């Protein structure tokens, strides 16, 4: 049974790995051979995404590849995010988390209120507005899929909302690392907060953080962005029951949901990896050969994290069908565009106020 499952998954996973390695080769070619620099002006992750989108739309991937590509987008992505935890100390988790929560709360509240107002003006269904709101403010497609049964959304509404989040999240993922470097003047904490709060999907935040790290040599930005995004994800536990209450208010039917079903379990794995790093540092450092072995183990996990995330983004690119996005109606995309811009602006304003007037991040 296990061997059969591996055979089914292998083609798509191997294809994503090939795209990852090929993207690294293109990165080296552009940086070393063309520009004569140590690194390319275009990051490996960005190359993998764009290459996947281009080839995935120029040549339709065979059905046999899609199972493995979906597996890569979901499980290998989450494993890569879990492995990112090896980079952090427990103190950094607490510090980054405590400064991220106020920004997250402000952005979530702003988007929820704005989407409700715009949806009423454009006469979009309340189900669609709920899906776009939680997808933009919390964690993208995962939040949409988890919320859909609670508000009894139709499949077409779920598809519209996910296409919405995919389009504007990818645009933000590609542009925001460079904008943030300029606007926040290479400040790793503020840039990480902005990327982790204003970009929709967990995969998109991880990719944006990697792009920033690879281009501007700032691993701390990736750490801050990842912690911020994972904290955002946990707000599903609060918002989905709230949406169920609001949607079913005054109605005779109710929607069932499970907290274990909506809680992003990989967050626990990420935190567990942080504990492993900190325990390992205490046990193996200054302990002869064990120190070298422990450092080697950390380096391997970090390389695997980058590789898995790049594979996942290549799989995302290969799975995006631009014609399907083009065929969607325009009104939900108007709401999604305004929501995406709003969460970015509110995030910048919040960071500016808290940093300038309250000295919150120092």
Query: Whole-angstrom Cα distance, residue 44 to residue 41?
Result: 10
Residue 163 has pLDDT above 80, yes or no: no
In a domain, 211, yes or no: yes
How many domains does the chain fold into? 1
pLDDT value at residue 9:
92
Which pLDDT does position 39 carry in this prediction?
61
Residue 300, domain member (yes or no): yes
Query: Which percentage of the chain shows pLDDT scores above 70?
Result: 88
Residue 192: what pLDDT? 94
- Domain presence at residue 27: no
Residue-wise pLDDT for 6-63, tens only, equals 889 999 999 999 999 998 888 888 766 666 556 666 778 878 888 888 888 887 777 8
- Rounded Cα distance, 248 and 253, in Å: 7
Whole-angstrom CA distances from 317 to 36, 86, 275, 308 are 28, 27, 33, 14
- Cβ count near 357 (within 10 Å): 8
7, part of any domain: no
Would you state the pLDDT for residue 28? 80
Q: What is the pLDDT of residues 50-97, one digit of tens each?
A: 888 888 888 777 788 889 999 998 899 889 989 998 988 888 888 888
Residues in the chain: 362
Instruction: State residue 326's pLDDT score.
Output: 65
| Stretch 134-156: mean pLDDT | 78
Distances (CA, A) of 34 to 43, 44, 76, 164, 213: 15, 15, 32, 37, 21
Say if 55 falls within a structural domain.
Answer: no
How confident is the prediction for the chain on average, in pLDDT?
83
pLDDT at position 262, please? 61
In a domain, 261, yes or no: yes
Residue 304 pLDDT > 90: yes
Does residue 10 sit within a domain? no
Which range has the top average pLDDT, 77-91, 133-147, 328-342?
Answer: 77-91
**Residue 270, in any domain of the structure:** yes
- How does residue 198 score in pLDDT terms, banded at 50, 70 and 90? very high
Exposure string for 6-21, b = 16+ CB within 10 A, e = fewer = eeebebbbebbbebbb
Kindly state the tokens that stand for 337.
């565009």
Helix (H, G, I), strand (E, B) or coil at 362: coil
pLDDT tens across 236-274, in order?
A: 878 877 777 766 664 545 555 555 556 667 888 898 999
- HEC-encoded secondary structure of 1-19: CHHHHHHHHHHHHHHHHHH
- Domain boundaries, position 235: 89-312+320-356
If we measure between CA atoms, which residue out of 97, 95, 107 comes closest to residue 197?
107
CA separation for the pair 198, 179 (Å, rounded): 12
Task: Determine the pLDDT at residue 36.
Answer: 59
Chain CA centroid to CA 190, Å: 17
127 to 31, 208, 243, 338: CA distances (angstroms): 47, 30, 10, 18
Q: Could you say which DSSP state residue 87 is in?
A: G
pLDDT score recorded for residue 324: 66
Residue 200: in which H helix or E strand, if any? none
Helix ranges (DSSP H) in 59-200? 63-71, 77-84, 90-122, 126-134, 140-147, 155-183, 188-198
The confidence score (pLDDT) of residue 256 equals 57
Q: With H, G, I as helix, E, B as strand and everything else as coil, classify residue 333.
A: helix
Q: How far apart are CA 135 and CA 194, in angstroms?
A: 17
Is the separation of the CB atoms in 23 and 47 below 8 Å? yes
Dihedral (Cα; 292, 289, 79, 165), 10-degree rounding: -20
Distance of CA 138 to the CA centre of its chain: 10
CB count in 10 Å sphere of residue 155: 8
């Amino acid at each position: 049974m296990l061997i059969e499952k591996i055979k089914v998954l292998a083609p798509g996973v191997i294809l994503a790995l090939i795209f990852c390695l090929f993207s690294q080769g293109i990165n080296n070619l552009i940086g070393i051979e063309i520009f004569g620099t140590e690194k390319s002006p275009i990051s490996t992750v960005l190359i993998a995404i764009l290459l996947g989108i281009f080839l995935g739309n120029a040549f339709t991937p065979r059905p046999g590849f899609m199972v493995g590509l979906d597996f890569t987008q979901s499980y290998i992505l989450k494993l890569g995010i879990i492995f990112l935890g090896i980079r952090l100390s427990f103190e950094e988790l607490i510090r980054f988390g405590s400064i991220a929560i106020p920004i997250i709360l402000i952005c979530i509240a702003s988007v929820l209120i704005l989407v409700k107002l715009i949806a009423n003006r454009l006469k979009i269904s309340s189900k669609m507005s709920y899906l776009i709101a939680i997808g933009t403010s919390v964690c993208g497609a995962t939040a949409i899929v988890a919320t859909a049964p609670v508000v009894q959304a139709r499949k077409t509404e779920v598809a519209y909302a996910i296409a919405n989040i995919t389009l504007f999240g990818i645009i933000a993922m590609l542009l925001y690392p460079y904008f943030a470097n300029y606007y926040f003047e290479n400040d790793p904490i503020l840039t990480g907060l902005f990327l982790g709060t204003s970009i929709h999907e967990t995969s998109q935040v991880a990719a944006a953080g990697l792009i920033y790290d690879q281009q501007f040599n700032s691993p701390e930005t990736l750490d801050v962005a990842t912690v911020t995004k994972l904290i955002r994800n946990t707000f599903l536990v609060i918002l989905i029951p709230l949406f169920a209450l609001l949607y079913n208010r005054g109605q005779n039917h109710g929607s069932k949901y499970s907290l274990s079903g909506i809680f992003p379990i990989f967050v626990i794995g990420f935190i567990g990896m942080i504990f492993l790093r900190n325990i390992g540092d205490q046990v193996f450092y200054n302990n002869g050969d064990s120190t070298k072995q422990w450092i080697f183990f950390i380096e391997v996990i970090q390389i695997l994290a980058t590789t898995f995330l790049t594979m996942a983004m290549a799989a995302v690119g290969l799975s995006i069908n631009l014609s399907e996005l083009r065929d969607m109606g325009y009104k939900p995309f108007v709401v999604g565009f305004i929501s995406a811009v709003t969460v970015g602006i509110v995030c910048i304003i919040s960071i500016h106020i808290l940093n300038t007037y309250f000295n919150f991040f120092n």
